[in-house]
Structure 1
């Protein structure tokens, strides 16, 4: 439908401009001009710029890709599942690293106001996905959901600090160093309190 198409165009334009200029420095007029809409047309779809920003976060915040990566991840053990999920997630994030800035905008301009809701929504989605995976693989039944989400969010913040997310240059860190960090961080976290994983990982060193 035309209304849905226009709404999506507004979301895309707003996302691009928020990333480019920040929330407060972007006007609704700039957004509508970008897609050749009359200024008031935006309010047929979003009651305010704040509501529009919330919709942009719900559509484009990198956390929204976490369920997708976990759903596609394969592995008959916790280690295999974590490695595959993190590899897929990093690949997805690498497709649009600029979206990381949406998180930073919310932190800097809103004091992280929208993040708790995003956190809860994402947690609910990944809980269902992991439960489904556990029903097919006995080796995954030891996954602690709180620990898994803590690990993935930690991976996300590591990604924010990496050159991949912040600058477009070649560096030793972007040439495999971050993959090493991800692997070490995730498996190290899961080894805490799990003697079996700790012993297996120690045996590889």
Structure 2
């Protein structure tokens, strides 16, 4: 990873952390981009280089490339849903312990702010695409319909788990809810269907 990429990642993380602090302190609507940039110690221009809009500070994350890679690392002999299930739990394990509260705060914002909620579909599509890419062999140009369907179902299962987590105000643990959602999905699909 080159210096520019490291700096960009550091700036993105600082901006997201500052934004979440301000959103909690004074509310999402009352917080301006200028305030977020000031709190993060970056310029206005740096903010917009990292995030096109205030909404994107909450919507964007670095998880999709990680999920794609983790799905690809699972044994190809496993059913597609199981490959995604395992990969998602591994990925969640990497970020959950240190970022539980930030994840919960972001998820709450996504589901409670109308401007953000209207864009939740983008997040679903983004996770679905990461799953598709992870399941599709590198030499293949386009995912099959079966792969697309499995990826969409899995991103919906992940979303259902996050919604259930927010609905209980983080009472349970997200990895456990994700596991349950995927187990329900796997139970409803015959074991002989592999993609």
Q: CA RMSD in A?
A: 4.2
Kept after mapping to 2: 8 A contact 1:82/1:186 = no
The counterpart of 1:196, out of the listed 185, 192, 195, is 192
TM-score (normalizing by structure 1): 0.60
1:154 aligns with 2:157: yes
Query: 1:68-89: CA deviations, max 9, x gaps?
Result: 4423433522165244224224
Question: Is the contact between residue 32 and residue 42 of structure 1 (CA under 8 Å) also seen in structure 2?
Answer: yes
Of 145, 148, 164, 2:148 maps to 145
Paired residue secondary structure (1:46): helix
What is the total number of aligned residue pairs between the two structures? 179
Greater Cα radius of gyration, structure 1 or 2: 1
Q: Which has the higher helix share?
A: 1
Aligned CA distance change for structure 1 residues 183 and 102 (closer, same or farther; 3 Å): closer
Aligned partners of 1:10 and 1:31 also within 8 Å: no
CA distance in 2 between partners of 1:177 and 1:131 (Å): 27
Task: Give unpaired runs (5+ residues) of structure 2.
Answer: none
2:112 to 108, 115, 127: 108
How far apart are the structure 2 equivalents of 1:124 and 1:12? 23
Residues 137-182 of structure 1: CA deviation (Å, up to 9, x unaligned): xxxx99543133213322332244248x843x7xxx6499647624
Partner of 2:71: 70
Distance 1:179 1:71 in 2: 19
- The structure-2 alpha-carbon separation of the partners of 1:100 and 1:66, relative to structure 1 and needing over 3 Å to count, comes to farther
Give the TM-score normalised by the residue count of structure 2. 0.62
